[in-house]
Amino acid sequence: MKQFLILLMTLFLYACSAAQTDRAYQELGRSENFELNDSLIIGFEKINSAKANILPGDLIDYPFISIPTDISVNQKLTAKRAITGQAKIILPTQIVFQDSEGDLDFHYNLYKIRPEQNTYSMDDSLNKMRGAFDRLAKVLGEGNYTHLMIYSMGWNNDQVESVYRFNRLKASIKSASKHGSNYKPFIVGITWPSVWSSISSDAERLLGHLSSYPTKSNDADEIGYTWANLMLNELVPNTLNTLPKSKRPKVVLLGHSMGARLLSRALFSKAFLTSADKTETWSPDLFFGLQGAFSARRFGKDGKDEWGREGSPYQGFKSLNTQIVLTTSKHDNANPIAFWSCHVGSTKWLVSGLDCAKDNQHFQVEVWPKAGGTSTIKFDLQDKRVIMIDASSIIGPDEDGKDDESYATDGHNDVLDKEIGKLIWHFIEQT
Report yes or no: 374 and 423 within 8 Å, Cβ to Cβ.
no
Mean pLDDT, residues 87-103: 91
Of residues 255, 93, 101, 263, the one with CA closest to residue 165: 255
Q: Tell how many helices (H) and how many strands (E) occur in the chain.
A: 11, 10
Per residue in 2-12, is it b (16+ CB within 10 Å) or e — as a string? Answer: eeeeeeeeeee
Count of Cβ atoms closer than 10 Å to residue 16 Cβ: 22
Name the more confident of 19 and 97.
97
Residue 108's pLDDT band (cuts 50, 70, 90): very high
Mean pLDDT of the chain: 82
Please report, rounded to a whole number, the percentage of residues in the chain having pLDDT higher than 90: 46
Distance CA 189, CA 152 (A): 6
- Would you state the pLDDT for residue 201? 45
pLDDT tens-place string over residues 285-337: 999 999 999 988 899 876 666 777 788 899 899 999 999 999 998 888 777 77
Contacts of 423 (CB under 8 A, 6+ apart): 327, 368, 375, 389, 391, 394
Q: Are strands 323-328 and 363-367 parallel, antiparallel or unpaired?
A: unpaired
Residue 299, domain extent? 2-428
pLDDT tens-place string over residues 223-254: 999 999 999 999 999 999 999 999 999 999 99
Say how far residue 53 (Cα) sits from the centre of its chain: 27
Bridge partner residues of 39 (DSSP): 98, 187
pLDDT tens-place string over residues 113-142: 655 556 788 888 999 999 999 999 999 999
pLDDT tens-place string over residues 18-39: 444 455 667 666 666 678 999 9
pLDDT tens-place string over residues 365-380: 899 999 888 888 888 8
Distance CA 158, CA 103 (A): 22
Name the more confident of 64 and 86.
64
Distance CA 292, CA 153 (A): 10
Count of Cβ atoms closer than 10 Å to residue 354 Cβ: 11
Report yes or no: 365 and 372 within 8 Å, Cβ to Cβ.
no
Q: Could you give the number of structural domains in the chain? A: 1
pLDDT tens-place string over residues 180-238: 778 999 999 999 998 765 444 454 555 555 567 778 888 999 999 999 999 999 999 99
Dihedral angle, C-alpha 316, 349, 189, 214, nearest 10 °:
100
- Would you state the pLDDT for residue 40? 97
pLDDT above 80: residue 71: yes
Axis-axis angle for helices 2-19, 202-211 (nearest 10): 80
Distance CA 147, CA 187 (A): 8
Distance CA 197, CA 214 (A): 16
